[in-house]
Structure 1
Amino acid sequence: MLFYLIAGLVVVIDQVSKYLIRTYVQVGETITYWHLNLTHYENSGMARSMFQGYSRLFAVIAVLFVIGVLYYRRSWKLQGKWLDIGLAFLVGGAVGNGIDRIIFGQVTDFLISRSGRGILNLADHAINIGVLFVIIHGCIHFLQTKLRSSRLEE
């Protein structure tokens, strides 16, 4: 249940934020809101505007990713609290950006990264959070496996 709650919240918050940006901020315009500079940008590619014009292909990849995660979750091949949370953020982010790609043929970005390396949206941040949780799961799983194997050797 936590998986669906997180994924759903990510999609809703992402889509509402993009709707507000598309409605109230012109493409290329920058506004300041709560000490954040928001710049409306439309990206038909992927991260850092690479592969412009391939938005529909990335939409298909997002759909396949979501189907794969849902299949493996149902078959219990993917288990663990941290993994479940990470996959929820990944799926929510993929669906959020996938909706944009399917409906508009591009993704609405508006959050300037602090490193100055691009303009992102909340779905992109959710994907980054998801990767972090998956890495945490992997580290915990690795340490548990090492601990079990050392106990067996004793």
Structure 2
Amino acid sequence: MRKKILLAAVAALGMALSTGATVAQADTQEISSMDNAPSVNVSVLSANGQAGVQAECYFPVVSPDGGALVCFQPYGEHLYICDAKADGHHPVARYYRSDKSGRKVKHSTYPNPQCLDHNLSIPESGWINYQACNYEKSTLLSCSGYSGRISAK
């Protein structure tokens, strides 16, 4: 009987993971040093979608199909959500914050190669943990692993 219950639990976990469901808050490793942190320069559109500026962001994660890139700028707490491939799909950031508000989801409709600047307000002692996903309308196509807890300081 115990073996059947254990097998059912393992099967349920596998099904939840394969459908993209979140079973637990992702990676708990905290990354607080910017020394030698991986970074990328991205093209960010202003809030009205008019002017583009270059911005450096850190700890980039890319969806497995290469269509979405998400990275973080700790100074000012900016999460950049970028369309990394002109494939007709759109990028999405799924993230957790240190305020325990649950998983948040932010879609970007800016076309490749532009990035949405999602301006967050995270305390200096806080963190963010995010992943990059590529969507076709409301259908999830692929998601990266989580970044690990990135310090907001």
Structure having the larger proportion of residues in helix = 1
If asked which structure has higher relative contact order (CA below 8 Å, sep 6+), I would say 1
Tell whether the structures are fold-level matches, with TM greater than 0.5: no
Calculate the TM-score normalised by the size of structure 1: 0.23
Structure having the larger proportion of residues in strand = 2
Calculate the TM-score normalised by the size of structure 2: 0.23
